């Protein structure tokens, strides 16, 4: 049905275009064919018989061209619409909205400038088209590039409504003045509640990393997982990012959370508390850890240090991974595959199954080969462990 409608409109447009192009040819027709009937005025139609013939001939030719090219034009239009739909599906919704808003603003500005410059001789009729193309493109690019800064400018609106709602809730809550003797008992009852749950607060970096799901599945982590709402919001922002790599990381984090909740190895709670006076997510996480008396699970080195300074215990996934790696001692032999060159001349680099890097002196000549090496030394760093080795025949010598 859609193809028939498109074919009809294509033929109609081509017929109108043919008639419009052939109409100016009527004076030439009457000049070459000096028949009086061609010069006869049609009265109601306000044209000569020659003009009518030219219009009809042009419409017939245009309709014929349209019917012959309709199939090609329809297939081209479908491919173009499919390409546009694919590109729009790849873009986050806030990018699409930013582009539409920028295009609208650009076209409005172009219309205003076009009307002002349209009276210029010769080029005045073409300037509005140029302005529409230039300012429409600039509007799209500027709003998509600066969308986060523009969004920040309007953040005061939801913040204002949030503050109003909080103030209304505070006014509606009844004021209860506890008896003095009941205060210590309340403190005693509230403290063991959080201690019994032994909250573990998941950081964004630990969720995206994904290894925490395997740690939970192995049973080495106990207590209650507490996922703050501001961590979920940050994951959503990453998943909706314009950067393809960030989108993949954000969606991976959401998938990891869904896996943790579905396997039910540990109870999971979503904490809706937010701290509007704190901008950074890491600082909010530390504040929440202080309130609930929990531990923060992360692999962020800076968050680790800040949490320790503020008295919040930290479970670092990287430190756990380094702790469970097998110990190697100088003189131990292993078989590895040299996968790339090292930083120093003649060195080769291999990796163990757990990702530990092995720097092999003289390993360049064995690139992409499996060889036996002998450990000469091991170095433990904050980023992990590094093993230095030599091929066995050189180590023996």
Q: Among residues 199, 211, 295, 296, which one has the least CA distance to residue 259?
A: 211
Q: Is 389:376 a contact under the CB 8 Å cutoff?
A: yes
**How far apart are alpha carbons 360 and 349 in whole angstroms?**
6
CA–CA distances in Å: residue 199 to residues 57, 144, 292: 84, 40, 7
List, for residues 307-338, the tens digit of each pLDDT value. 888 888 888 887 787 777 777 788 888 889 99
**Cα 209 versus chain centre, distance:** 18
CATH number, span 191-322: 3.40.50.1010
**How far apart are alpha carbons 385 and 363 in whole angstroms?**
19
- Residue 105: which residues within 8 A CB-CB, separation 6 or more? 139, 143
Length of the chain: 397
The residues with which 142 forms a beta bridge, in sequence order, are none
Q: Is 194:288 a contact under the CB 8 Å cutoff?
A: no
List, for residues 225-245, the tens digit of each pLDDT value. 888 888 888 888 888 888 888
On average, the pLDDT of the chain sits at: 78
- Residue 200: which residues within 8 A CB-CB, separation 6 or more? 221, 223, 224, 225, 226, 266, 294, 295, 296, 297, 315
The residues with which 202 forms a beta bridge, in sequence order, are 297
Tokens of 96: 């699409």
**How far apart are alpha carbons 244 and 90 in whole angstroms?**
9
Instruction: Tell me what percent of the residues of the chain surpass a pLDDT of 90.
Output: 3
Q: What are phi and psi of 361, to 5 degrees?
A: -70, 130
User: If DSSP codes are grouped into helix, strand and coil, which group holds residue 158?
Assistant: helix
Q: Is 98:119 a contact under the CB 8 Å cutoff?
A: no
List, for residues 382-393, the tens digit of each pLDDT value. 566 788 999 987
pLDDT of residue 99: 81
Q: Is 82:91 a contact under the CB 8 Å cutoff?
A: no
Q: Is 15:62 a contact under the CB 8 Å cutoff?
A: yes
Residue 396 region by backbone torsions, left for phi larger than 0, else alpha for psi between -120 and 50, else beta: alpha
Q: For the chain, which residues make up each domain, given as ranges?
A: 2-145, 191-322, 328-396
Mean pLDDT of the 37-64 span? 69
Q: Would you give the DSSP letter of residue 41?
A: B
**How far apart are alpha carbons 93 and 239 in whole angstroms?**
12
HSE-CB at 332 with a 13 A cutoff on CA atoms is 12
User: If DSSP codes are grouped into helix, strand and coil, which group holds residue 181?
Assistant: coil
**How far apart are alpha carbons 70 and 289 in whole angstroms?**
67
CA–CA distances in Å: residue 205 to residues 97, 127, 208: 29, 52, 5
Whether 164 has a pLDDT exceeding 70, the answer reads no
Tokens of 100: 């539409």
Confidence of residue 9 (pLDDT cuts 50, 70, 90): confident
pLDDT of residue 350: 92
For the sheet with 224-228, list strands across it. 268-271, 224-228, 199-202, 295-298, 314-316
pLDDT of residue 182: 42
pLDDT of residue 181: 45
**How far apart are alpha carbons 110 and 269 in whole angstroms?**
53
The residues with which 375 forms a beta bridge, in sequence order, are 389
pLDDT of residue 155: 61
**How far apart are alpha carbons 296 and 202 in whole angstroms?**
6
Q: What are phi and psi of 305, to 5 degrees?
A: -65, -45
Tokens of 279: 């901008």
The overall pTM is greater than 0.75: no
Confidence of residue 162 (pLDDT cuts 50, 70, 90): low
Confidence of residue 176 (pLDDT cuts 50, 70, 90): very low
List, for residues 244-298, the tens digit of each pLDDT value. 888 888 888 888 888 888 887 888 888 888 887 787 888 888 888 888 888 898 8
CATH number, span 328-396: 2.40.50.140
pLDDT of residue 349: 93
Q: Is 198:221 a contact under the CB 8 Å cutoff?
A: no
């Amino acid at each position: 049905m859609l193809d028939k409608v498109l074919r009809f409109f294509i033929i109609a447009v081509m017929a109108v275009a043919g008639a419009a192009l052939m109409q100016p040819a009527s004076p030439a027709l009457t000049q070459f064919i000096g028949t009086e009937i061609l010069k006869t005025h049609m009265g109601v139609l306000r044209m000569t018989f020659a003009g009518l013939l030219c219009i009809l001939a042009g419409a017939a030719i245009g309709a014929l061209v349209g019917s012959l090219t309709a199939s090609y034009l329809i297939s081209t239009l479908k491919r173009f619409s499919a390409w546009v739909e694919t590109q729009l599906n790849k873009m986050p919704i806030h990018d699409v909205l930013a582009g539409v808003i920028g295009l609208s603003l650009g076209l409005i500005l172009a219309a205003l400038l076009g009307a002002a410059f349209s009276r210029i001789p010769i080029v005045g009729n073409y300037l509005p088209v140029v302005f529409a193309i230039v300012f429409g493109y600039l509007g799209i690019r500027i709003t998509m590039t600066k969308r986060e800064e523009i969004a920040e400018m309007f953040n005061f609106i939801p913040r204002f409504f949030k503050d109003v709602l909080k103030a209304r809730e505070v006014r509606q809550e009844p004021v209860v003045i506890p008896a003095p003797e009941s205060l210590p008992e309340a403190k005693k009852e509230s403290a063991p509640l959080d201690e019994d749950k032994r909250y573990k607060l998941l950081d964004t970096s630990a969720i995206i990393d994904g290894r925490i799901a395997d740690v939970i599945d192995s049973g080495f982590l106990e207590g209650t997982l507490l996922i703050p709402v501001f961590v979920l919001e940050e994951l959503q922002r990453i998943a909706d990012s314009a950067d393809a790599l960030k989108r993949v990381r954000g969606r991976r984090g959401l998938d990891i959370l869904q896996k943790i909740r579905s396997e039910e190895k540990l109870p999971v709670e979503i904490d809706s508390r937010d701290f509007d006076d704190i901008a950074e997510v890491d600082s909010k996480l530390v504040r929440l850890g202080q309130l609930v008396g929990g531990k923060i699970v992360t692999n962020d080195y800076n968050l680790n240090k800040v949490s320790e300074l503020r008295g919040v215990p930290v479970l670092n996934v990287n430190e756990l991974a380094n702790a469970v790696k097998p110990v190697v001692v100088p003189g131990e032999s292993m078989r590895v595959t040299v996968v790339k060159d090292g930083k120093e001349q003649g060195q080769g680099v291999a990796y163990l199954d757990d990702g530990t890097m092995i720097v092999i002196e003289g390993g360049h000549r064995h690139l992409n080969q499996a060889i036996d090496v002998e450990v000469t030394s091991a170095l433990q760093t904050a980023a992990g462990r590094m093993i230095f080795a030599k091929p066995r025949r050189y180590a023996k010598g």
